Amino acid sequence: MLLLKIGIIDGQGGGIGKKIIEKIRKASSDKFELIALGTNSLATSGMMKSGADFGATGENPIVINSDKVDVIMGPMAIVIPNSIMGEITPKMSFAVGNSNALKILIPLNKCNVEIPGTKNKNINELLDSAVDELLLYYNTKKG
């Protein structure tokens, strides 16, 4: 069976990352290796408690693992330098943006970026769409 490595990146308290992990585990727990990559220890800890397989904290783990995973998931802010109140460093956003991994980003409009078509969706609908995208990607990869 194909096992995809998923890097979930989040900051602050890791709330979005936690919800992503919970939804992935609920949808399919055996197809994915979930790696919690927090910008701080609180975010990493929260994601680990939600069911991540591995976790690491800080800039270097995010930079290094961006090229070692098949998919990167997290809020849209992870590709915007200095977002999440400065927790996303330019090195982090560059590494995520330049990674060959598929990026499934949650379009939260909190970093002065508006994504048309997302205003009428609540966070649960956005997260469900993100997990649906992951499952669709998995199914096309396994052939």
Residue 73 CA to residue 4 CA, distance in Å, equals 13
Instruction: Give the model's pLDDT for residue 102.
Output: 97
What is the average pLDDT score of the chain?
92
pTM score, whole prediction? 0.93
Q: How many Cα atoms occupy the beta-carbon half-sphere of 56 within 13 Å?
A: 11
- The residue-averaged pLDDT of 10-30 equals 92
Domain count for the chain: 1
CB contact set of 92 (below 8 Å; sequence gap of 6+): 9, 39, 59, 62, 63, 78, 81
CATH of the domain at 43: 3.40.50.2300
Query: Mind listing the pLDDT tens digit for each residue in 34-84?
Result: 999 999 999 999 999 999 999 999 999 999 999 999 999 999 999 999 999
Q: Quick one: pLDDT band at residue 108, thresholds 50, 70, 90?
A: confident
Residue 118 belongs to what domain range? Answer: 4-142
Instruction: Give the model's pLDDT for residue 115.
Output: 76
* Residue % of the chain over a pLDDT of 70: 97
